[in-house]
Amino acid sequence: MTMPKLEVIAGCMFAGKTRALVRRVRMLQEEHQLVHVFKPAIDNRFSVSDIVSHDGTRQRAGIVPTDDEYLTDGPGIVCVDEVQFLSSRTVDRLMTLLRTGAVSNAILAGLDLTWRGEPFGQMARLLCLADRITKLQAICACCGAPATRTFLADRSVWEGTVVIGGAEKYEPRCFSCFEDGMRGHTTEFVGGILTPPPHIMGRDQPCQ
């Protein structure tokens, strides 16, 4: 089967995107393919020089400054983690490398949505350009359903778009539980009792 020119692995946090990317890298290396692995400089949560999944899977990687277009001038396959942090210039550069044949293929992984539930950085563009898309899901921290959203549970930092962190700040949620949490601030006192908004009334354990 022919390998797609541009493959994107997307999903919420804790869905296994980095683990899937590292698995692809190692399979390609076992096939003696030349693979260039990169990560944005801003992603230094677990390591400065490795891409690291939440379960501890690691892979050595080169660093791409967030506002820099550099990836590689060498042949082979480019693999990049956390691509939501890449600049438009870097994505332009990657597409030029693919179009000219300077690199044969690219496999990218990253968050498709911000903690606000909006398209994250260059991911919307990359998903449109991709020849193959793999959408991964996590398990909702509230109800156990498939999770497609990343909820910023640490409400003390509910501002901006980029809040670097891991399980200490974020949790995966399904669409309904994510919406409940984002609207949780509408909770009101009714008759002296703290009452959840109507859309979550009836739940045994409202997830906000």
Distance, in Å, from the CA atom of 207 to the CA atom of 202, rounded to the nearest integer, reads 12
Q: What is the pLDDT of residue 121?
A: 92
Contacts for 95 with CB less than 8 Å, ≥ 6 apart: 129
Q: What is the pLDDT of residue 189?
A: 32
Domains of the chain and any CATH numbers: 6-136 (3.40.50.300), 146-200 (no CATH)
Q: What is the pLDDT of residue 74?
A: 73
Strand 6-11 relative to strand 105-111: parallel, antiparallel, unpaired?
parallel
CB 13 within 8 A of CB 117: no
Catalytic residues: 82
Task: Please give the average pLDDT of every successive group of 10 residues along the chain, which has 208 residues.
Answer: 86 93 92 90 67 70 66 83 91 92 94 93 95 96 95 71 71 94 54 38 47
Q: What is the pLDDT of residue 61?
A: 73
Distance, in Å, from the CA atom of 178 to the CA atom of 172, rounded to the nearest integer, reads 8
Q: What is the pLDDT of residue 148?
A: 97
Q: What is the pLDDT of residue 173?
A: 96
Helices (H), 74-187: 88-100, 123-129, 175-182
Which residue carries 């899901």 as its tokens?
A: 137
